Amino acid sequence: MLRAVIDTNVWVSALLNPKGYPALVLDAFRHGRFEPILSSPLIDELIDVLSRPRVVKKYEISTDEAAAYAALIIERSKVVSLPGILQLCRDPRDDAVLETALVGRADCLVSRDDDVKRDEELIKEMDRQGVSVLSVARFLVRLKEATA
């Protein structure tokens, strides 16, 4: 089974827009089509973003709904501990998602963040470590190929 780190921006987009590509990732997750990998920093970020007043107000997300969503993701994911030593990305806040993929021995890292998915050197280094950095659309194609 494909092991994947799904960046927080994808999880949040999946909840906020049930018709976009990220929602298809959420559907695949709900059907157990891949093994998600998380870490404490990614869990904290997910909870933080879903509880931001601007997000709650604009998308009318209740605290209970956000908590249930985060709990579902956490419950069905493999959670790894990070040493917190990786310094690979231009934006150091993104190093946790990269380190989660490496420590969790993910097959791929799925992100909508240009600092992650458009940095050629970063992509090459992650690839050398056995992790493909993919856009949401490319991940969906890979999932389809893996389950065909």
pTM of the model: 0.93
All structural domains of the chain with their residue ranges:
3-146
pLDDT band at 147 (very low <50, low <70, confident <90, very high): confident
β-strand partners of 6: 110
The CATH T-level fold of domain 3-146 is: Rossmann fold (3.40.50)
The per-residue pLDDT for 90 is 61
pLDDT tens per residue, range 79-138: 999 876 656 656 657 788 999 999 999 999 999 988 888 889 889 999 999 999 999 999
Q: What percent of the chain has pLDDT over 90?
A: 71
The per-residue pLDDT for 91 is 61
